[in-house]
Structure formats: structure tokens, C-alpha cells
Amino acid sequence: MSIRFLALLAAASALALTAPTAAQDAPKDEAAKPAAAPEAQVRTRELMGTFGGQRIAYRATIADTILTDDAGKPEAVIVTTSYIKTPADPSRPVFFIYNGGPGSGSVWLQMGAFGPKRVAIPSDAKDDGAPPYPLLDNPDSLLDVADLVFIDPPGTGFSHLTQGTDPKKYYGLRQDGRAIAKVIRRWINDNGRWNSPKFLGGESYGTTRTAMVADELEGSTYNDVGLNGLILISTILDFAVEDTTPGNELAYVVTLPNMAAAAYYHGKVQASSVEAIAEEARRFAIGPFASALLKGQELPADERAAVRKELSRLTGLSETYLDQANLRVTDQRFYKELLRDRNQTVGRLDARYTGTDYDSAGETPDNDPSFYGIDAGYTAAINSWARETLGYKTDREYQSIGREPGRNWDWSLEGSFRGAYLNVAPLIGQAMRQNSQLRLFNAQGWYDFATPFFGAEYSLKRPGIPQDRITWKYYDAGHMMYIRDADRAKLSADIRAFIRAR
């Protein structure tokens, strides 16, 4: 799921380990003892399902991986959920999967897209309502073409840091990438999969994580893990595309095509298709619109009028409003303004969703209807599956969106810092240049404002990234395109073809 959104709107408070008994209530020798090391939990079930038209027996395993410091002290418990076709076949590809945030558990891709079970929620951008939420067989799971390993980084899902571990050691761009790379290496070793084809990928910040983990795996001189493919879903690599600090015009340029797509969906503009209006908006955004913004106060009045008129045609916003906004409409303002005449707001993660605010005044919506419209169903599904079916035992709450990672995150990268300029796309280019068979799959939803499709295109079309090894796919939904039934099937088929094409 989305980056800043997940950190700001997380409903769950960070968990804390239960405090030990006070020293005065225990013998002195007992009080002096360090906390007991956690014991790794492993739960396995033998199951059957039909995936990609094939009847497949598989082993589902939910397991703890314990990471330690150099002295052997446990620092983090990271939970993985793997689905392996039986009997095991080391020649099969293995796909390592996680979500984003940072702070988002793997529940979204596991119970929504690629796991053997999925939660049934409305496909037509409607609220998921109240329980029970059906847990269905998922024929769109990728188990027919690859074994699947879902990873919950520390602070997400059931994964956590042990008592006394400094969050700075795990919550950050490089720190997180290093930890997930360790888990992957451990899993490969424990399961005898060193020579299996390997795919790596995630959603939203999970695409940022993919760049970092790929750098850790393929950039290690003495312990290199070769990869066959990177699978990016709702991509964010260059963070300048989301920064609306006054003076940064790029965010307005890359968001414009999303505004046109959303306006088209809600009947505010006319076009033959969403693809057509998106292409018109791309050309205008990178041409006359970008030129006008860069001219600043030297923009001639006649050019401003022409740009304002075309901007109104593409976005469905009035010329008066655009003039008052100085041609620069933030995404938050757009969510509130587009359907103000209908007393509705549109979603950030998925602009197909609409919501009703307390009132119709103001500049920004009360909340994101495309998030509160789906979250309850996913939370119920992962807890039911992990606890009741797979038998995982814990008193911890599953953190579908944990607050702890986001509020402690270190965004620095090799001397840079997020407030200036953060771009991890060059790490993907480096990995592809140093691995001549590494390919990249990029999936984007037309109605996703959290990670705009034009922003992904901008990031991945910079110099140094081999364009002939990138597969681009687009979907008629938003950030989590798999919520829509037709797009879940399409996404599955597209990735299945990508894996098979190796």
C-alpha cells in the first residue's frame, strides 16, 4: 500500500513487549537474567488448490526467522508465509513478495492477489461493509508457475523487534533492505533453492524496497544472489514526484494524467477511453504544462490562458478554480474539488471510490474512501487464515499497517536525505546493467494517486535503465488493482507470462 498515506493513517498503535516482573518482586539472581531468547515458531499444513487451471498440492508454512546481532543476541523476529508445490522441485521459480508503507504487512498481496486464498470484497469500488468476509479459493494465485514466499518486515504483520533492539538498526532504506536480504538468503539456504530461478517484488514502498533488496542481493561481492526478475506493482522510486513543496513543479506534471483519468471515470471529461485521455494528458503535461510552470512569473498572459483552458478540459476543474490555484492543483485539493458539485470526494489509493465528508466546504477530504472501504475485510482474512487454518500462535495483533516503522524511518541514502532528493531507480538500472538477463515488470493502475503511473514512467525511463527488458502493464483500477476482479485475473496472467518468459 501507499507510503506517506500508510504512515499517517495507520489506525493501530505500535505494539510493546510485556514488561518483565519488577526486580523487587523477584530474586536478585532472577532479576539479573536477560530476557529469554524467542523460540522460532514453524507451522505447516498440506493443502490442495486449483491455480492457473492446474490442480496442485502444496505445503503452506508460516515461520519465524530470528535475526541476531554479531554477538548472537536476537534482534528481530521476521515472519514468512510460504506456499511450496509438493513434491518440492528446486527447478521451479521462487517469488519473494512483500508490501509497502513502510509499515504495511504482506496481507494485501497475499490475501488479495497471489496467495492460494483471497478475501472477497466488492469489485466495483464499494465499501466492504461488515463481517463475515468470505475467504475464497484463489484461482489467480501464481502457484502453478512459482513457489511463493510472503515476507512481513519488522513492525508489520506479526514480525517485531525484540526488547531493547534499537529501531534505527532496522527501520530505514538500507537497514530494511539488508534485513530482508538476510531473510531471503536464509530461506534459500534452508530450502535448498540456491539454483532456482528467483523473482523479487512488492507493492508501493515495496517497489522501493525491491531496489534496495536487489542491491543487497546482487551487489554483494562475496555472497551474490542472482535474480531473474523484479516485479513492481504501483511503483514509487523517485520521491520528487510526490513532493509538493513550493518550487517543485514535477509533482504537478506527473499527477496531471491521473487527474485526467479520474475525471474521465467520473464523467467530468469526454474521451474514447481512459488510455486515450491519459495519453493526451501525458503529452500536455510534459509539453505546454511543464513549460508554463517552469516559466513562473514570466509566463505570458496569453500562454497562461491557453494552458488554463486545456488544463480545465483535461481535469474537469473550472478555469476560475485553476486560476485561483495558480495552475497548481495538489492531489488533496483535487480529491475534494472534482465532485464538489455532487457533495462527494474521490479516493487517493483508487479514485474510482467516492466518499461523503462531514460537509462540502474546505480544501481536503476527511479521509480516503478507497482505504476505509477495504481495510476491515483484509484484516479479518489474514488473522483467520494465519491463526485458525495455519495454526500460528501469538498474542500479537497482526499489523496490516504498523505505525512504528513509519515514524522511525531513516530515509537517508548514501549521504542524501529525503527532504532534498531521494531516487532509488538508479539501483535498479545498476542491477540490470550488471545482470544481462534481469528483467523488470511494472504494473500501474490508471486511478492511483498514491503512486502515479506517469511518475513510474518518468523514474524508469531515465538514462542507465535498459528499456528493452521492461514490461509495462496498466489496469482499470487504482493502487491495489487486484481489488477489481477483472484486473486481478489480468495481473495474474501478465505476471504468469512474465515468469514463464524467462
Neighbour-count burial of 70, counting CB atoms closer than 10 A to its CB (0-12 exposed, 13-18 middle, 19+ buried): exposed
Report the candidate in 208, 178, 229, 185 with the shortest Cα–Cα distance to residue 103: 208
With 70 as the cut, is the pLDDT of residue 417 above it? no
Q: Which domains does the chain have, with CATH numbers?
A: 4-18+36-240+374-500 (3.40.50.1820), 245-329 (no CATH)
48, 60 contact by CB (below 8 A) = no
| 226-279: pLDDT as tens digits | 999 999 999 999 998 888 888 899 999 999 999 999 999 999 999 999 999 999
Stretch 10-33: mean pLDDT: 35
309, 318 contact by CB (below 8 A) = no
Question: What pLDDT was estimated at residue 373?
Answer: 66
| 128-157: pLDDT as tens digits | 677 788 899 999 999 999 999 999 999 999
136, 120 contact by CB (below 8 A) = yes
Measured in whole angstroms, how far is the alpha carbon of residue 60 from the centre of its chain?
A: 23
103, 400 contact by CB (below 8 A) = no
Question: What pLDDT was estimated at residue 406?
Answer: 85
Report CA dihedral (297, 301, 305, 308) to the nearest 10 degrees: 0
| 150-188: pLDDT as tens digits | 999 999 999 999 999 999 999 999 999 999 999 999 999
Residues in a beta bridge with 104:
401
pTM of the model: 0.90
How far is it, in rounded angstroms, from Cα 415 to Cα 412? 6
Match 534452508 to its residue by C-alpha cell.
Answer: 190
> Residue 256: enclosing H or E segment and its boundaries?
helix 250-265
Measured in whole angstroms, how far is the alpha carbon of residue 84 from the centre of its chain?
A: 23
Report the DSSP pairing between strands 94-98 and 147-152: parallel
Alpha helices per DSSP H over 114-249: 173-190, 205-218
103, 405 contact by CB (below 8 A) = yes
Handedness of CA 253, 255, 261, 263 (dihedral sign): negative
